[in-house]
Homo-oligomer: A and B are copies of this chain.
Amino acid sequence: MAQSTFNPYNHFGFLTNRVARLIVRSVEAMPEEERPQFPPSCIGILADLWSKDGVNQKDLGISLVKTKSSINKMLTALENEGFIVKKEDPNDGRGKLIFLTEKGKEMQFIIESKSKEMEEMLLGDCSSEEIKTAKMVLTKMYKKLYKRVNENDQEGHLQFMKEN
């Protein structure tokens, strides 16, 4: 019977989905003190801005794989908390550019160290070669998927996409 031959954890679709969700859960389970003061989903927006400040909402949506309405709502929350500001795009009257405030910039070092800490905790028994390979494979998947999903989008929006 087919029953015992299927292993979800041998498929990237399941594996990435579950690992991603567990990471979020794991962050949420942190003690109040250690955890950032905003919902984990918003970290993604800040991360993009740390990488490249002053982007528009559309590109954030593409990068985070969320719709523009979702991005809009998250930005409103982040703006109310004082992490980002929206400014008119001087070159395009339709668009707005998103910039980090000082408060938003300061977050980078905190989050980055937490991320490193967690990675060490989770992957203490993997060699740095293996970790590198895993990130490389995921990044390749990302690029292929990105192109597939945004195929009518000629210019690569993301900084890292331009590197290749």
Indicate if the CB atoms of A22 and B146 lie closer than 8 Å: yes
Q: Size of chain A's interface in residues, with CB distance under 8 A?
A: 67
Those of A8-25 within 8 Å (CB) of chain B: 8-25
Alpha-carbon gap, A7 to B52, bound state (A): 9
In the complex, what's the smallest C-beta–C-beta distance from A100 to chain B, in angstroms? 9
Q: Main secondary structure on chain A at its contact with chain B?
A: helix
Assuming the A-B contacts A22-B145, A122-B141, are A115 and B6 also in contact, with contact meaning beta carbons closer than 8 angstroms in the complex?
Answer: no
Q: Which of B3, B119, B144 contacts A11 (CB 8 A)?
A: B119
Residues of B within 8 A of A64 (CB): 18, 21
The answer to whether A8 touches B131 (Cβ under 8 A) is no
Using CB atoms, name the residue of chain B closest to A115. Answer: B11
* A51, CB-defined interface residue at 8 Å: yes
Bound state CA distance, A123 and B109, in angstroms?
Answer: 33
List residues of chain B with CB within 8 A of the CB of A140.
Answer: 122-123, 125-126
A44 touches which of B14, B47, B131, B149 (Cβ 8 Å): B14
Other contacts beyond A13-B43, A21-B66, A123-B144: 8, CB < 8 A = A2-B108, A11-B119, A19-B145, A21-B65, A123-B141, A125-B140, A126-B140, A131-B137
> Which 9 interchain pairs have the tightest Cβ spacing?
A21-B65, A134-B137, A22-B145, A6-B50, A16-B20, A17-B20, A8-B47, A134-B134, A133-B133
